[in-house]
Structure 1
């Protein structure tokens, strides 16, 4: 039997704590129905017996504090809400215990932006991490030594599991259940809780927001100009001329500041504009593609699918009114 410690972090969301508790306990019920022994011993633990959550909106009473837990097998870090820097400071009392338990063999399951707290302990240094697309830029600024992953919602490295994107933590819990108890139990949990087990990527949900907390005035001006002209056709050289900077140096600065090359940034802005047109406009897909400056319809469809995992037609079916 694995002992699970779900951390009642201050300013965590009650839903992520309770969902983890309910799903893992329900798996024990499934095992009982099959005449098998329960696998998880699940409890919620905190720094104190009574913890305020979600800025005092909820309070939770726990049976044990972390000081009572000398050995645990798996630690669940819930989602945090609000000011991340403040939340890290508020919860720093958990850090030493978390680090000690990890080095003593405990696995760590970090739910979405709970990874801000995990990264603050240093345990994610030079490791892969998935994070919610809307928090990516802030996370990169705070933890530049963590390797952020874009193309999947789940990472699994050295006994640490992370996920990106709101309620995708439900998929992460299914993933962990599958590792512990096999595919059949994971599928059963998926069916019972009606969780789409095949969701693998954040791309269909992502809204592109360029990294702008960098202080480079020319790069920032070029970002704003690109974003304000999504239907214009221009080259990287034309942008460099407009900014009065040399191409080689500027491209290096742009990549360092934004995480994208200039050409990639232009692509992503045009894809984001196209998404909005597909959601609310009446033009055909081909008309929209021509509007954003592409003459090669197939080439743009490939670019669009690269960033959304959907064709323009499928995107319209999914998100239009």
Structure 2
């Protein structure tokens, strides 16, 4: 039997916790039905301070304290968070970090789901390792944890004894992978069918939405952003934008990347692709018309960039996400 520790940190997302428990309990039930011992012992953990606010139970589960339990578990699960203020959430949950480090040093595997990767990243245990999180949270994650090899497009990453998943339903792909690891392929297939999960979805890039970062105090960068967003459909060369700013190109690019996380050319590219995605979702314009409205002049270049950024071809995206 594998000892699984599921955290209930401050700001945890109830849906994430419920989904993880549901899958693990389902695997246990499937093994029981075959006359086998349940593969998982599931234990929930909280910080001592959290006990003051609760009654020490979560539905039918007894909650254990990270301060009083010295058991080294086989696997730690970090659920998603409800908040977008990750710095604040990490601060409230920082006391989990020594316990996570102790568990990992003792041989435990650790998996985070969606934005739970932020607490995992803060532990330092992902430094030098591959990881992913919700695709829309990746820019913020990259700024906070530059030593992690972030894989924004991946649904799931596995690196040594660390596991991470992308946003929302990517949770199921990782937990089913862990069920497969501990219980075998047959059980994983049964669980996937019960939860109607496609086991072969490897990318999350097409679920992403580019959201420009304005949370900085650099007026020069803000001016470049505004110029790109206002004139993206008619910009033939990025120098047209940069030459209007009273600073060297090198300095502009450096400050722009520092403030937004990406260089100006990638910013322009993302603005154009988001425009194309909206047209594909909301109207029946031809791809040629959408290419023109997005600021591209070369159809081959547009399709290449779209495939790279989104992870599928334009017409595939329309078929998947068009408003019906």
Q: Which structure 2 segments of 5+ residues have no match?
A: none
| C-alpha spacing 1:233/1:63, structure 2 compared with 1 (3 Å) | closer
Corresponding position of 2:279:
277
Corresponding position of 1:150:
152
| C-alpha spacing 1:293/1:88, structure 2 compared with 1 (3 Å) | closer
Corresponding position of 1:160:
162
Corresponding position of 1:170:
172
Corresponding position of 1:71:
72
The alignment's TM-score, normalised by the length of structure 1, stands at 0.89
- Cα offset, 1:210, TM superposition: 3.0
- Cα offset, 1:59, TM superposition: 6.5
The alignment's TM-score, normalised by the length of structure 2, stands at 0.88
Q: Equivalents in 2 of 1:52, 1:18: separation in Å?
A: 20
Within-5 A mapping of 1:30-49? 30-48=30-48
- Tell me whether 184-193 or 29-38 shows the greater mean CA deviation: 29-38
Q: Which structure 1 segments of 5+ residues have no match?
A: none
Query: RMSD between aligned alpha carbons?
Result: 2.4
- Cα offset, 1:92, TM superposition: 2.7
Q: Equivalents in 1 of 2:212, 2:165: separation in Å?
A: 21
Within-5 A mapping of 1:204-219? 204-219=206-221
Determine if contact 1:51/1:59 at 8 Å carries over to the other structure: no
Within-5 A mapping of 1:281-296? 281-296=283-298
- Cα offset, 1:276, TM superposition: 0.9
1:232 aligns to 2:234 (yes or no): yes
| C-alpha spacing 1:170/1:293, structure 2 compared with 1 (3 Å) | same
Determine if contact 1:28/1:39 at 8 Å carries over to the other structure: yes
Determine if contact 1:46/1:62 at 8 Å carries over to the other structure: no
Q: Equivalents in 1 of 2:52, 2:306: separation in Å?
A: 45
| C-alpha spacing 1:87/1:78, structure 2 compared with 1 (3 Å) | same
Determine if contact 2:139/2:261 at 8 Å carries over to the other structure: no
Deviation string, structure 1 residues 98-141 (Cα, Å, up to 9, x no partner): 11111000001111111121222222233322121222233233
